[in-house]
Amino acid sequence: MEMKAQSKWSWLVSAYLFLAGLGAGAYAIGVLAGFAGGEWAGISKIGVSLGFPCVLVGCMFLIGDLGTPSNFWRAWRRPDTSWIARGTIIISIFMVLGVIHVAFWVWPFHSLEDANGARNLVGVLGIIFAFGTMIYTGILLGAARPIAFWSTAMLPLLFLVSALSTGIMAVVLTSSVTGATHGVPLARLAWIDSFLIILEILVLFFYLQATHRVPESRASAKLVLTGSIAPLFWAGVVTVGLVVPLVLEIFAVGAATGTLALSASICGIIGGLFLRQVVVSGGIHAPLRAGRFEIALPA
Amino acid sequence: MARYGFVIDLKRCYGCYSCQVACKASNHTPKGIDWARCVPAEAGRFPAALRQMVPLVCMQCAEPACMEVCPTGATQQDENGIVTVDKELCMGCKYCIMACPYGARQTVEKWSTYFPHTDGDLDPYEAYAKRAWEQKSGYGMATKCDYCMDRVREGRQPACVESCPAKARYFGDLEDPESEVSILIRRERGFQLNPEFGTDPSCYYLPPR
C-alpha cells in the first residue's frame, strides 16, 4: 500500500507560513532591540518596520491559494473552533499594531517620536501577538489530525525557532543592504542567531525522530529523508538553511564583517522557506482501516 | 429529526463501481470529483494475500472534523446530521480537506470536459451537467456528498444505494432502533472506520468474509 502526500496545499501556503513567521520574528527582535536602546536603536527600527509588510505579503500568498479569494474576509468568523479563524484574528491585530508602531516614526506623527511610553506599550502588545503569529503557524497545521506529520507538539516549536532565526537574518540582511547599522549590534545578532540555528537543528532532529509512532508519519519521514522531497530537505533545509549560515556566522563573529553575515542571512532565509515547503508537502493522511484491510486515501 | 446513516456490507461488495458512476450521473460532479468512491484494499502478503473493495462516502460524522476547522462557518450540520457546505460562504481554504480523515471533501478549479478530443462546445448532455453543477456548487469551494438529500426528500434512496446491484448498501435512520440500518449494525457487528479520530461517523461497515 502506497500512501501519497497531500497535494491540495501548494507552495503558496508554505510561502505564507514562512513570511508570517519571518515578519513576526523580525518585529519581535525589533521590539527587544528597542528595549535595549542606545546603539540598538537602528536595529530596532528595521526589525519593527519589517513586521507589517512581510506578514501582509504573506497573507497575499495565502489569499492566492484560496479557491474563492473574494470570500477571504470571512476567514475570522469561527474562532470558537477553527485555527484559521483564530490565526486571522491574531495576525490582523499584529498587523494593526505593527502599523501603529511604525507610525510613531513617520510623518505626520513625528511629534510622537519621543513618546517612549506609548511606543513601549504598543511594543509589548505587539510582541505578544508576534509570538502568537509565530506559534500559530505550527498549530494551524497541527489541527489537521489525520496528518500525523503535522499533528505534533514539535511543529509549533520548530516554526517558532525558525521564525525567530529568519527574523534576525531578515534584520541583518536589511541593515547590511541599506547600510543603516554596522559593527557591534550586527555581530551580536549573528552570535545570537548561531545559537538559534543550533537549537533549530536539535528541534528538527527531534521533530523527525517523533514521527516513528504511526505508519503515515513514518511514510512522511521517509519521503523527506530519502524520497522525492529529500533533495529539497538535504540541500535546501539542512545545507543552505542551517549548516552554511551557522558556519558563516561563527566566522562572522570573529571577523565582524558585513559580507559574511549578509551571505549567511540570505542562505538562512531561503532555508526557512524550504523548511515550510518540506513540512507542507510532506503531509500524508492516515490510511483508513477496515479490519485487516488498510486503505490509502486516493490523493 | 433523524440521524441519517449508511451501512455498507463489505462481504457483498464486488467492486463494480456502480455507486461511483450513479453518484456522478445523479450529482453531475465534474471530472476529478467523486463523492462516492470504491477503492481497492489489500491485506496480508503473497501467497496469503486478500483483496477487498471498500466503498467510501462522506461519513456525515456526528462530530465533524471539517466543521470544527472551517473558519468561515460555511460548513453546517442540519437537523438530520447531514453536513453541508454553503457555497456563498466558503472561501476555498481547503482546511477541511486536510482535517477530514475520510477524504470526503474535494474541490476543482474549473470544469474540464470528459471528451477532450471533440472540438468546440460541450455536447448538450455535458453542458446540462455543467449548468446543474454550477447551480448546486461551483469551482474553488469545498464540495461533498450529502446523501442525496434532494432524492431523500422525495422519498427515494440515495443514488448509490439504489444502483448497487449487490445490495451492499443500506440507507436509513440510525436513531431509530427498528430501522434496517440499526438492526444490521446490531446483528452483524457493524463498525466505523478509524473511530480513533473521534468524529463518530454515521457510516457503518459490516465485516468482510
Q: In the 3-class helix/strand/coil scheme, how is A93-135 assigned residue by residue?
A: HHHHHHHHHHHCCCCCCHHHHHCHHHHHHHHHHHHHHHHHHHH
**pTM for this one?**
0.95
Domains of chain A by residue range: 11-295
Q: Tell me if chain A has a CB within 8 Å of the CB of B103.
A: yes
Half-sphere exposure in the Cβ direction for A34 (13 Å, CA): 28
Q: Which domains does chain B have, with CATH numbers?
A: 4-206 (3.30.70.20)
What does pLDDT average to over chain B? Answer: 95
Return the C-alpha cell found at B199.
468524529
Q: Tell me if chain A has a CB within 8 Å of the CB of B206.
A: no
Q: Which residue has the cell 536589511?
A: A174
Q: Tell me if chain A has a CB within 8 Å of the CB of B15.
A: no
Q: Which residue has the cell 540541500?
A: A235
**Residues near B79 by Cβ (< 8 Å), separated by ≥ 6?**
B1
Taking contacts as CB-CB distances below 8 angstroms, the residues of chain A near B140 are 66-68
Residue A298 pLDDT: 73
CA distance A119 to A88: 24
Q: A293 and B52: CB-CB below 8 Å?
A: yes
**CB of A296 within 8 A of CB of A25?**
no
Window from A104-108, A192-196, B188-192 with minimum mean pLDDT: A104-108
Using CB atoms, which residue from B42, B91, B99 is nearest to A143? B99
Q: Which residue has the cell 495576525?
A: A91
Residue A7 pLDDT: 93
CA distance A220 to B138: 32
Q: A68 and B56: CB-CB below 8 Å?
A: no
What average pLDDT does this structure show over A248-272? 81
**CB of A46 within 8 A of CB of A189?**
no
CB pairs under 8 A between A and B: 143
- pLDDT-derived band at A257 (thresholds 50, 70, 90) equals low
Using CB atoms, which residue from A1, A71, A146 is nearest to B91? A71
ipTM of the complex: 0.94
Phi, psi at residue B43, to the nearest 5°? -140, 150
**CB of B57 within 8 A of CB of B157?**
no
**CB of A264 within 8 A of CB of A252?**
yes
Strand order in the sheet with B37-43: A288-290, A293-295, B37-43, B50-56
pLDDT in tens, B134-160: 999 999 999 999 999 999 999 999 999
**CB of A28 within 8 A of CB of A130?**
yes
* Domain A11-295, CATH: 1.20.1630.10
- pLDDT-derived band at A277 (thresholds 50, 70, 90) equals very high
Using CB atoms, which residue from A68, A77, A285 is nearest to B140? A68
- pLDDT-derived band at A152 (thresholds 50, 70, 90) equals very high
% chain A with pLDDT above 90: 75
**Residues near A204 by Cβ (< 8 Å), separated by ≥ 6?**
A158, A237, A242, A275
Taking contacts as CB-CB distances below 8 angstroms, the residues of chain A near B72 are 71, 74-75, 77-78, 85
β-strands B75-77, B83-85: how paired? antiparallel
Residue A147 in 3-state DSSP? Answer: strand
What average pLDDT does this structure show over A178-188? 76
Sequence letter at residue A175: S
Work out the widest C-alpha separation in chain B, in whole angstroms: 55
Residue A109 pLDDT: 67
Say which DSSP state A213 is in.
G
Looking at chain A, which runs of residues are DSSP E strands?
Answer: 288-290, 293-295
Hey, which residues 110-169 in chain B have their CB within 8 Å of chain A? 138-142
CA distance B169 to B19: 9
Residue B203 pLDDT: 98
What average pLDDT does this structure show over B43-69? 94
Complete DSSP assignment for chain B: ---EEEEEETTT-----HHHHHHHHHHTPPTT--SSEEEEEEES-TTS-EEEEEEE-----SS-HHHHH-SSS-EEE-TTS-EEE-TTT-----HHHHH-TT---B--SS---S-TTS-SSPPHHHHHHHHHHHHH--SSS-B---TTHHHHHTTPPPHHHHH-TT--EEEEETT-TTSHHHHHHHHTT-B-S-GGG----SEEEEPP-
Hey, which residues 28-67 in chain B have their CB within 8 Å of chain A? 37, 39, 41-44, 50, 52, 54, 56, 65, 67
Using CB atoms, which residue from B41, B90, B97 is nearest to A71? B90
Q: Is the peptide bond before A53 cis (omega within 30 degrees of 0)?
A: no
Q: B98 and A6: CB-CB below 8 Å?
A: yes
Q: Is the peptide bond before B47 cis (omega within 30 degrees of 0)?
A: yes
CA distance A233 to A280: 12
Check the CA dihedral A77-A80-A84-A89 and report its sign. Answer: positive
Half-sphere exposure in the Cβ direction for B100 (13 Å, CA): 28
Per the DSSP assignment, residues forming a β-bridge with B143 are B106
**CB of A5 within 8 A of CB of A223?**
yes
Residue A179 pLDDT: 76
